[in-house]
A = this chain, B = another copy of it.
Amino acid sequence: MRIVLTLILGFWVVSVHAAGNQALLELLRALHENGTIDRQTYDLVIQAAEQETPAGAEQLQATDETSEQSVREMIRHEIAQVTTKESKKGPTVRVGGRIQLDAATFAEDQARHNDGTEIRRARLFASGELSEYWKYKLQYDFTGTGIDGLQDAYLEYTGLDLFNIRLGHFKEPFSLQNMTSSKYITFMERGMPHVFAEGRNIGLQLHRGGDNWNLYGGVFGDGRDGAGSDNDEGAGFAGRVTWLPWRYDGNLVHLGASVSHRASGSTDTLRFRERPESHVTDTRLVDTGTFDAESFTRVVAETAWVHEMFNLQAEYYHTSVDREISTNPDLDFNGFYVEGGWFITGESMNYKKSGNFSRVKPKTIVGQGGYGAWQLAARYSNLDLDDGDINGGEIDSFTLGLNWFATEYLRFTANYVNVLEVDGGPLSGDEPDVFQLRAQLEF
């Protein structure tokens, strides 16, 4: 801005002065006095103008090197000023967030599920750069209480060739649907085996990636808030590799694998339980209850395929548990989901270089003469929490979804969830249905 201003003033004053228009020179002085241009700039401009120049366009042909020097100096001064000012301003801050509003109605079978509305997520974040190569993000979800609402709180250094370093509280690298933001998953809730994903912890992660692959690895503590009272905090490591064996335009095949190992620490116990892919109810259909665990290891095999307006995605999860009480048998749980989508309006899933799906870009926008993007989707999910002495139950579920991306930042989703069967566990035989709606905006 200042550069342009100076250039203009420089050119203008040279002309003006040459032409002897005192009134305009006074305006320049006024601009200086009211602070629009600073002293140094003003002096340089006047100095440039005071070079003897012929009237009219001829002054532009001036070969006077001093004048040229003045202008150059002026420019350099301005650029320096802008730079200084920016570095003085310090870190950049961008504020953004998301709101997700849900409503659900249930066709109950055995267990009670209350119809109702809910604010699923209401997040605010600040992110930016502390200085070149040093990025940060701080994100809070107002649906959480106290420290439990804290989401991302990390620092990232991108100045090394070999890898990027991330330090702080963020998602352990694990599974495609887990690493895809809740804003960009196809259905309202992730497929049920997401129960095995670790979520966010305080840790240190290295990431190296190319155009068609990524390698993530990190070590992590347990939670946001120090250890419990009995024992040292649990800790673990996690890693994820993604690879695109084939990519052409928007069409691609994604393959990936994740692993996460963790000492359960503190309480030396674990519990897995899951809702029927709706968060409005608090009733869990499968539930292992609390059991003793020394450590546990989870692996995921990931696949996805995008072909223009179509996509398929599937993941298989396996979890093995080493028990704390040595006489108890080790445990194996697993689950998988398969989902597919079709953009009726011709859009395509948006795969990011980081190995995850991102914001869908509608071809037309509601409010600007368009009707947005429309996507039909279906998913089959399975989660088996039965093994050894643990009878948590196995659940199969089928979901139909309709997404309406009214604009790039606004999305409406309808999901019909049909729980096909609960086999074993506290609610064996339960087969409820859910119909639910979400309005989601991000900024």
Which residues of A come within 8 Å of B, CB atoms? 1, 3-5, 7-8, 11-12, 15-16, 18-21, 23-24, 27, 30-31, 34, 36, 55-58, 60-62, 68, 71-72, 75, 79, 90-97, 99, 101, 103, 112, 114-119, 122, 124, 126, 128, 130-134, 136, 138, 140, 142-147, 149-150, 153-155, 157, 159, 167-169, 201-203, 221-233, 266, 280-282, 365-368, 406-410, 439, 441-443
Residues of chain B within 8 A (CB-CB) of A90 are 408-409, 443
**How many angstroms from the CA of A203 to the CA of B131 in the assembled complex?**
37
Residues of chain B within 8 A (CB-CB) of A3 are 31, 36
CB distance from A221 to the nearest CB of B (A): 3
Whether B23 contacts A12 by the Cβ 8 Å rule is no
Residues of chain B within 8 A (CB-CB) of A281 are 226
Residues of chain B within 8 A (CB-CB) of A408 are 90, 131
**How many angstroms from the CA of A133 to the CA of B365 in the assembled complex?**
11
Chain copies in the assembled complex? 3
Whether A368 contacts B60 by the Cβ 8 Å rule is no
Residues of chain B within 8 A (CB-CB) of A75 are 27, 30
Most B CB contacts (10 A, CB to CB) among A30, A227, A408 go to A227
Whether B150 contacts A21 by the Cβ 8 Å rule is no
Whether A57 contacts B15 by the Cβ 8 Å rule is yes
Residues of chain B within 8 A (CB-CB) of A202 are 101, 103, 117-119
Whether A368 contacts B146 by the Cβ 8 Å rule is no
CB distance from A339 to the nearest CB of B (A): 25
Whether A365 contacts B131 by the Cβ 8 Å rule is yes
**How many angstroms from the CA of A347 to the CA of B25 in the assembled complex?**
42
Nearest B residue (CB) for A122: B153
**How many angstroms from the CA of A296 to the CA of B443 in the assembled complex?**
38
Taking A169-B119, A367-B133 as contacts, is the C-beta distance between A138 and B99 under 8 angstroms? Answer: yes
**How many angstroms from the CA of A145 to the CA of B142 in the assembled complex?**
9
Whether A155 contacts B229 by the Cβ 8 Å rule is no
Nearest B residue (CB) for A157: B367
Residues of chain B within 8 A (CB-CB) of A58 are 19, 56
